[in-house]
Chains A and B, each alone.
Chain A
């Protein structure tokens, strides 16, 4: 019985891995989405709006099943039509990372868009006047300032994302929720294992909150707060 706890603890590393990689994907999608929405080009704005509206209207689980089962068949049909004999299997790990990243990218789009809008336009104009390229302006001027504005929304998205990783167990990734279910089937004592897994999630979310608080303090340095 004790060995199962170690197995679940080991599986929690996979949970951390999935969530961190998915976060990376979602930040990339979120920045791209926010840039598209703010670009003012009708086609890009339309595409980004479609992305953030549609994704946020469909359950994570349904999207995940669609990517996992549909994606495999889709890619293989495509390969077949191209005359290739090869077959591709999407692994649960990749399907999970990509779907969760893609979904939370839609939420990040809104968070980042709001944060960029909160930075005074003059800041970017000054950077351009100094001869910085668009990319340099983003890296040196926009990004450091938008962290503070984006952080509350980002924190919420991150906490929901961590919890969404439990869904990957339903498409067969052996992360801690999956292992807890296996362990409970083997030992016939589900209560204790699910409690244990829940506690691990609690630790993970609490540590995240603590770290993000430190980040917030770091990026709010020198910000004057109003006195009521």
Chain B
């Protein structure tokens, strides 16, 4: 084992760079995916059958296919369509499709949106009837009930399941290394492996980084669950 190689300034910088990109990908895709998921969940539980059907089909496809295929489809696939090719040199949002970072981010966001939407929709459906009845009794409209009563409690109850999804997404960002010219933690390890032919050191270092990040995220969610779900805990007196 030659751990000294990992701790050379250049290679530490490579991993440091990788950590920044990985965290960027994680939080940006969670933010974009979260907003999409909320919209999708409202559509899934809403009164319009057509919307329910469309979003249902979307989550079925997203959850039934590997993320790697989704990344390839966006990075390689969309670039093949003439309609996009004609635009991606000049016309505004389409110029982004030339950038690997954007393509990875888009794939991750759409993916996490699919999983989170189903989770949220489940929590919304399972809101206890009494809470909704009470809101109606107070004279709240449908929108007000949703905004003031159903969503706050559903979002909190999704927290334990969502913490799994966040850790899964952290791991999923390692697929960014399948896109050329990306430099996340996994690609950093691959570069060090390719340069020094030291697979154990390179990939174990990457594994340690992901493990630390996973534990931090789990710790953060434990803490938030303790605070936000305190009202659901069994009575102590």
Interface residues of B in 145-204 (CB under 8 A from A): 167, 170-175, 177-178, 186, 189-190, 193, 197, 199-200, 203-204
Which chain A residues border B69 with CB–CB below 8 Å?
166, 177, 180, 194, 197-198, 201
What are 23 residue pairs bridging A and B, where the CB atoms are less than 8 Å apart in the complex? Answer: A54-B211, A60-B174, A61-B174, A61-B177, A62-B174, A62-B186, A62-B189, A65-B199, A66-B200, A66-B203, A70-B199, A70-B203, A163-B66, A177-B68, A177-B72, A180-B72, A184-B80, A191-B73, A191-B77, A195-B77, A198-B73, A201-B64, A205-B64
**B64 and A70: CB pair below 8 A?**
no
Residue of A nearest to B75 (CB): A190
> How far apart are the CA atoms of A198 and B110 in the complex, in Å?
15
Task: Provide the main secondary structure of the chain B interface.
Answer: helix
Interface residues of B in 6-61 (CB under 8 A from A): 60-61
Which chain A residues border B68 with CB–CB below 8 Å?
166-167, 169-170, 177
* CB of B215 closer than 8 Å to a CB of A: yes
Q: Which of A60, A61, A170, A194 contacts B73 (CB 8 A)?
A: A194
**B66 and A177: CB pair below 8 A?**
yes
**B73 and A195: CB pair below 8 A?**
yes
* CB of A181 closer than 8 Å to a CB of B: yes
**B66 and A166: CB pair below 8 A?**
yes
Which chain B residues border A190 with CB–CB below 8 Å?
72-73, 76-77, 79-80
In the complex, how many angstroms separate the beta carbon of A100 from the nearest chain B beta carbon? Answer: 12
Which chain A residues border B77 with CB–CB below 8 Å?
184, 190-191, 194-195
In the complex, how many angstroms separate the beta carbon of B69 from the nearest chain A beta carbon? Answer: 5
Q: Which residues of A contact B (CB under 8 A)?
A: 54, 56-63, 65-66, 69-70, 73-74, 159, 163-167, 169-170, 177, 180-181, 184, 188-191, 194-195, 197-198, 201-202, 205-206
> Could you tell me how many residues of chain B have their Cβ less than 8 Å away from some Cβ of chain A?
42
